[in-house]
Amino acid sequence: MKEICTKTKKELAKSFETDLESGLTQEEAQIRLEKNGRNELPKGKVTHWVVIFLKTLLEPLQLILLAAAIISVVTSLVASNWEVSGETFVDFIVIICIVIIDGVLETVQEVKARKSMDSLKSFTKPHAIVIRSGLQQDIDASELVIGDLVVLEAGKYVPADLIIIEASDLMVDESILSGESVPSLKTSHHLAKETAILADMKNAAFMSTFTTAGRAIGMVVKTGIQTEIGKIAESINENDEAKTPLEKKLIKFSYWIALAALVIGVLIFLTMFLKGNSKFWPSYLMVAITLAIGVIPECLAAVVSISLSFSTKRMARENVIVKKLASVETLGSVNVICTDKTGTLTVNRMTIKKIMENNEVLDSNAFLKKTNSSQRELFLQSLVLPNDSVTQGKERIGDPTELALVDFAELAGLDEQIAREKWTRIDEIPFDSERKLMTTVNNIQDKPTTFTKGAIDEILKVCDSIFINNKIRKITEEDKRIILKQADDLSQEALRILAFAYNTNYDKTKNKAALEKNLIYLGSVAMIDPVRASAVEAVREAHEAGINVVMITGDHATTALAIAKDLNLAFSEYEVISSDRLEQMSDLELSRIITQIKVFARVNPEHKVRIVKALQDQGNIVSMTGDGVNDAPSLSKADIGVAMGITGTDVAKQASDVILTDDNFKTIIKGVGEGRNVYQKIRRAITFVISVNLANVLAIFILSIINDASPVEATNILWINLIVESVLAITIGMGPNDYSLMKIKPLTGKHSLFEGLWKPMFKICLFSTGAAIAGFYLGMSFTPAEFYEGKDTWYLFLKDQSTSLSERVRVMSFGRTAMFIVMTISPCFYVNLIKLSNWKANPKFQFNPNVPLVFASIFAASLNIIVLFIPGLNDVVLMLNPIEYWNAHNWYMIIEALGIAMIPGALILLTDSLVFFTYHHLPKSWERNRRIAFEMVQNDNKKKVKKTNSVIEKDKKNN
C-alpha cells in the first residue's frame, strides 16, 4: 500500500487499467471478480461440535480415565475367573459416565461462547456506491473489484482499500485500524515519499474504517484478503491456538499421576504377592490395580470443567464472555494488562472540558451554571450553526469534534435541530484544510449573522474585535497574547482547541471571502476524549492486585501522556515511547526497558505484537485489551486477549479469548478476580482429592502388609472416589469468592500447580491415614469369636496361609465396615476446613461458608450411613456387614466409628487455629520488625503518590 500511495492519478489509471471518469465496465468488473475473487474477509475456522467433543476425550486426563475404565473390567474378570456378570461393568460404566459428562460440559461451553460471539457481530456493512460505465450503482460490497471507483459520503463505511482521487473535506475515523481517536483528513494528493505508518497515508482509505464528514471518490486498489484488515484477519486464522497455563499444568499433572499409579500398583502387587499366599495372586492383582486406580482422581476433570463453567456463568453476568473454559484461569494469572486507549480507557467520544472566554479559562461545568446573556447565547449559537453533525436519539453522524459541540450546547439547553430550523442557514463557506475555518450565515431574528469556527490562531487573524464581559471592544495584541498562552497551556494537557467568532455585517453582494474578515472573537472550547471514570478506579485496583497496566495507542505522545496522567498510570515523558524511537530499538534494547515504560504512542499493529512478545519474554502473563482491527494481532499473541463487545470489530472478537459486552475496562479487573478465585478453588479441590486418595491408599497398603490381606474391597475404593469425592469436590467450585486474593501479587514465571499445597496435603493425609487404620482396628475388636474359630485372635487367623479367600473376607467384615465409615465420613467434615485463602492478609477470622458444599457434605454423609442398611448393596457389592450381623451388643460400633471420623477434621481445625493465632497475635521479633518495615514502606509510597497528585493539581490550577 505504501508504494501505491506515491503514484499520481495518471499512474494509478494506467496501473489498474481504469477510466478515472467512467470507471470500469460491467463486463470488465465481472472478469476481474471471477479472476480475483469476492471482496470478503477470510472467515475464522469453525470447528464442529462433534470434533470439539472428540478432542475432549483425547486430553491426557481423560485418556487415563478411559484406561482406568478398561482396567477395571479386566481386573474384575481376573478376580472372577473370567466369569462375566453385571458387576463386572459397574466400575466401567461409572468412569465412562464421568468422562462423557466432562466432555459434554466443555463442548457446550465452547459452543455457547461461539454463539454469544456471533450475536455480537454488528460490524459488516455490505453495500457500496460504485461508478461503472459512467453511472453510479449501489452494489453488494463483496462484488467490488480492483480498479472500481467508489463514492464515499459521510456516515458510510469504506468497503475496500482505496486511493482517493477526488476529495472534498473528507474525514475518516481510522481508530479501529490506527488507534487515533480523532478522524483523519484525507486528500487526493499523492504522497511525496513512502511511509509505513497507516495514519500518515493521507490519500488512502482503508476497508472497514468510517467516513465522518465530506465526500470523495476513491479507486479500489486492494480487496478482501489483500486489504490491511484482510491481512490481519488471515494472520489470526493461521495462528495455532496456544494452550493456557492451566491446561499445561493439568497435562503435566496427568503424566505424574499416571506414573504414580503405575509405581503404586506394581509395588503393592509385589509386596502382597511376596508376603502372602501366591495362590491368591488374582486377588492381590485386583487390590493393586484398584489402589492404582484409586490414586487417579477420576472426578478431577469434571471438577475443573464444572468450576470453570460456574465461573464463566458468573462472569457472563458481569458482562464477560469467555470463549474457552481454561481462559478463566489464565485471566487470573495475568500480571500485565496491555490496553488500547480509545474506547477502552476513554469513552470514545470527544467532550468539552474547558471554555475560554473573557480572557479566562473556565471549567465546562462552571460555564453551564452561568446565567444567560447575549454573549452566552451567541457563543452557544456558534457551536451548533456552523456545524454539519446530526444527532437524533442514538444515531450520531458527523465529525466527533462537531458532535462534541452539539452535545455541549444541548447540556446548556440548546438543541441543534431546533436551532437550525429556527435560524436557517442562508450562506456558507465549507471547511478547508488550508484556511482551517468554516463559516455559515444564519438568519437570526431576520438579521443575517455570520458564524465562523476554526483553529484559534486562524480565528484571531480575522478578528478585529472581542466580546468580553458582555461588551464588544477592539481586540488588542495583549488580548491575543493571553488567549494564545491559554490555548498553549491547554494544548500541553492534550486538549484540542477550537475558536469561534461572529459578525452582523453580511453583504451578499460581496465576495464570500469577505465573510471571514473583521470578526468579533467570542471564545474557544478545549476538548478531549476523556477517560472513563471507572477506568481510573480499575487501574488503581489493578495496581493493588500487583498487575502492571500498559497503555498502547495510536495517538500522539502528548495526548497519550495526558490521558495516562489522568489515570495515574504515568507521570513523566520518560515513561512514554513513540513508534519512531521503538523502530530504532533492537529487541534486546526493548527488553531492557520494557518494564519501565507505561505508555506506547503512535504505534502500528506490528509494534503491539512486538511489545507483547517483549513482556512475555520477561516471564509475564500478558493480557491485551482492544477493540480495533489494529489490536487483533496482539490480542491473538497475548496469553489472554480481551476484545470489546460493543465497539469491537469482528476480527478483534475472533482473535480474543474473552469479550467484554459493556466495553468497560473495570470489567476485566472483575474477570481477573474471578480467574484468581477459580484457580484457588481448583487447587482446593486438588488438595482434597489427592489427599483423600493418598490417605486411603497408604492406610490400605500399611494394613495389607501387616495382615497379609486387603482391609477393603475394590468397590469400597471406587465408591469413595466416584461417589464421595465427586459430590464434595465438585461443590468446592460453587463457593463464594475470596476478594482478598485481589490484594496480593500474582505468581509470575513457572510455578507448579502444587505450589503451597504440600503442607495441607501432608496434614490431611497424615490425620486421615491414622483415622482409617484406627477405624479398622476398632471394627476388628467387634469381630465375633466364631468368625475365626480355631485361632486365638483374628490376626492369627489372617496369618494362617491355609485360610481361604472367602474366609478372609468374612473375618474382616467388621473391620472393613468401620474403616469404610471412617474413610467416607471424615472427608465430609474436613472438606469444609480446607482453606487456601489469603488468611495472612487479615488478622480477623472471616467466616464465609460454602453453602452448596455444606449441603453436599450432609448429603454424602447421610448416603454413606444409609448404604450400611441397604440389603444387597451393603453385603454383596460393598462387602460390608449384612443387617443380620448387627445386634444389641455391637450396634454402637457405628457411633464409635463416626467419632473416629471426626478426629481428622478436629485436628485440622486445631492446627490451623494455632497457626493463625501464632502468626497474627504471637509474631516472632524478626517477623514483627519485617511487617513494621513493610507497612512503613507502604505508607511512604502512599504519601509520595498523594504528594505527586497534589503537585499536579496545583500546576493545573496555577496554569
Distance in angstroms (rounded) separating the CA atoms of residues 61 and 490: 61
| CA distances (Å), origin 678, targets 227, 737, 741, 742, 773 | 41, 8, 11, 13, 34
Contacts of 514 (CB under 8 A, 6+ apart): 507
Distances in whole angstroms, Cα of residue 857 to Cα of each of 723, 833, 885: 12, 12, 28
Tell me the pLDDT of the chain averaged across its residues. 82
Of 31, 45, 27, 196, whose CA–CA distance to 114 is shortest? 45
Contacts for 342 with CB less than 8 Å, ≥ 6 apart: 175, 179, 180, 181, 348, 529, 553, 554, 555, 627, 628
340, with CB counted inside 10 A (0-12, 13-18, 19+), is buried
Q: N- to C-terminal Cα distance for the chain?
A: 44
Residue 849's domain is classified under what CATH number?
1.20.1110.10
HEC per residue, 821-838:
HHHHHHHHHHHHHCCCCC
* CB 625, CB 665: distance < 8 Å: yes
Q: Which of 609, 625, 660 is the last residue of a domain?
A: 660
Give the CA dihedral 407, 408, 410, 414, nearest 10 degrees.
-130
- Write out the three cell numbers for 6: 506515491
Compute the Cα dihedral for 500, 501, 502, 505 and give only its sign.
Answer: negative
Predicted confidence band at 117 (pLDDT cuts at 50, 70, 90)?
very low
What's the CATH number where 373 sits? Answer: 3.40.1110.10
Give yes or no: residues 815 and 904 share one domain.
yes
Give kind and range of the element (H or E) at residue 252: helix 245-275
Give the tens place of pLDDT for each residue, 463-504.
Answer: 999 999 999 999 999 999 999 999 999 988 888 999 999 999
Confidence of residue 120 (pLDDT cuts 50, 70, 90): very low
Last residue of a domain, one of 477, 503, 528: 528
Q: Is residue 511 part of a domain?
A: yes
> How do residues 21-32 score in pLDDT, each as one tens digit?
888 998 998 999
More confident residue, 679 or 115: 679
The pLDDT value recorded for residue 411 is 92
Domain end point (choices 238, 264, 288):
238
CB 307 within 8 A of CB 324: no
Catalytic machinery residues: 340
Nearest CA to 744 out of 920, 935, 541, 544 is that of: 544
Q: Indicate whether 166 and 188 sit together in one domain.
A: yes
In the predicted model, what is the mean pLDDT of residues 711-727?
Answer: 78
| CATH for 604 | 3.40.50.1000
Secondary structure of 84-128 as H, E, C letters: CCHHHHHHHHHHHHHHHHHHHHHHHHHHHHHHHHHHCCCCCCCEE
Q: What is the pLDDT of residues 619-678, one digit of tens each?
A: 888 998 877 666 777 888 888 888 887 777 666 777 788 888 887 888 888 888 888 888
Q: Which of 158-167, 474-483, 797-806 has the lowest mean pLDDT?
A: 797-806
Q: Are residues 218 and 151 in the same domain?
A: yes
Q: Is 194 helix (H, G, I), strand (E, B) or coil?
A: coil
What is the rounded CA–CA span in Å between residue 730 and residue 308? Answer: 11
Q: Which has the higher per-residue pLDDT, 788 or 600? A: 600
DSSP 886-954: --TTTTTHHHHHHHHHHHHHHHHHHHHHHHHHHHHHS--HHHHHHHHHHHHHHHHHHHHHHHHHHHHHH
CB 383 within 8 A of CB 408: yes
Domain shared by 502 and 523, yes or no: yes
Angstrom CA distances, 722 to 96, 329, 775, stand at 11, 25, 21
Which residue, 482, 455, 464, 478, is CA-closest to 356?
Answer: 482
Q: Residue 333's CB: how many other CB atoms inside 10 A?
A: 22
Q: How confident is the model at residue 79 (pLDDT cuts 50, 70, 90)?
A: low
SS3 annotation, 818-886 = HHHHHHHHHHHHHHHHCCCCCHHHCCCCCCCCCHHHHHHHHHHHHHHHHHHHCCCHHHHHCCCCCHHHC
Residue 124 has a pLDDT of 40
Maximal CA-CA distance, the chain: 134
Q: 8 and 97 in one domain?
A: no
> In one letter, which amino acid is 369?
K
Number of domains the chain contains: 5
Pair 428, 445 in one domain: yes
Strands 149-153 and 210-222: antiparallel
State the CB neighbour count (10 A cutoff) for residue 21. Answer: 9
C-alpha span between 766 and 305 (Å, rounded): 29
Q: What is the pLDDT of residues 203-217, one digit of tens each?
A: 889 888 888 778 889
Helices (H) and strands (E) in the chain, counts: 34, 26
Whether residue 327 is contained in a domain is answered as: no
Report DSSP letters for 372-398, one per residue. Answer: P-HHHHHHHHHHHSS---EEETTEEES
What length does the chain have? 959
pLDDT of 409 above 60: yes
Task: Tell me, yes or no, whether 866 lies in a domain.
Answer: yes
Q: How many CB atoms lie within 10 A of CB 593?
A: 12
Evaluate whether residue 116 is within a structural domain. Answer: no
Percent above pLDDT 70 for the chain: 82
Identity of the highest mean pLDDT range in 97-101, 118-122, 464-468, 725-729: 464-468
Give the span between the Cα atoms of 836 and 487, in whole angstroms: 56
Domain assignment present for residue 383? The answer is yes
Is the per-residue pLDDT at 549 higher than 90?
Answer: yes
Residues 690 and 792 in one domain: yes
Contacts by 24-28, CB closer than 8 A, 24 or more apart: 24/132, 24/133, 24/145, 24/147, 24/148, 24/149, 25/132, 25/133, 26/132, 26/133, 28/147
Rounded Cα distance between 264 and 257, Å, is 10
Query: For residues 762-772, b (16+ Cβ closer than 10 Å) or e, as one string?
Result: ebbbebbbbbb
Alpha carbon of 401 to those of 184, 389, 398, 427: distances in Å?
Answer: 12, 9, 8, 22
One domain for residues 931 and 957: yes
Comparing CA positions, the residue from 128, 133, 140 lying closest to residue 26 is: 133
Task: Tell me which of 207-221, 865-879, 898-912, 932-946 is least confident.
Answer: 932-946
Cα dist. 327→406, 690, 877, 957 in Å?
A: 43, 24, 42, 46
121 assigned to some structural domain: no
| Domain presence at residue 747 | no
The reply to whether 694 and 790 lie within a common domain is yes
Residue 122 predicted with pLDDT over 50: no
Q: Are residue 853 and residue 760 in the same domain, yes or no?
A: yes
Cβ proximity of 838 and 743 under 8 Å = yes
Residue type at 180 in one-letter notation: E
Lowest mean pLDDT among 290-299, 438-447, 500-509, 853-862: 290-299
Instruction: Please report the pLDDT score of residue 924 as a whole number.
Output: 60
Alpha helices in 493-574 (DSSP H): 533-544, 557-566
Provide the 10 A C-beta neighbour count for residue 19: 15
Q: Tell me, yes or no, whether 23 and 81 share the same domain.
A: no
* Domain-embedded: residue 744: no
The answer to whether 30 and 220 have CB atoms below 8 angstroms apart is: no
Residue 482 pLDDT: 95
Which of 593, 752, 610 is closest to 686 using CA atoms? 752
The residue segments making up the domain with residue 180 are 4-43+127-238
Is there a single domain that holds both residue 388 and residue 517?
yes
380-396 pLDDT, tens digit per residue, is 999 999 998 888 777 77
CATH number at residue 144: 2.70.150.10
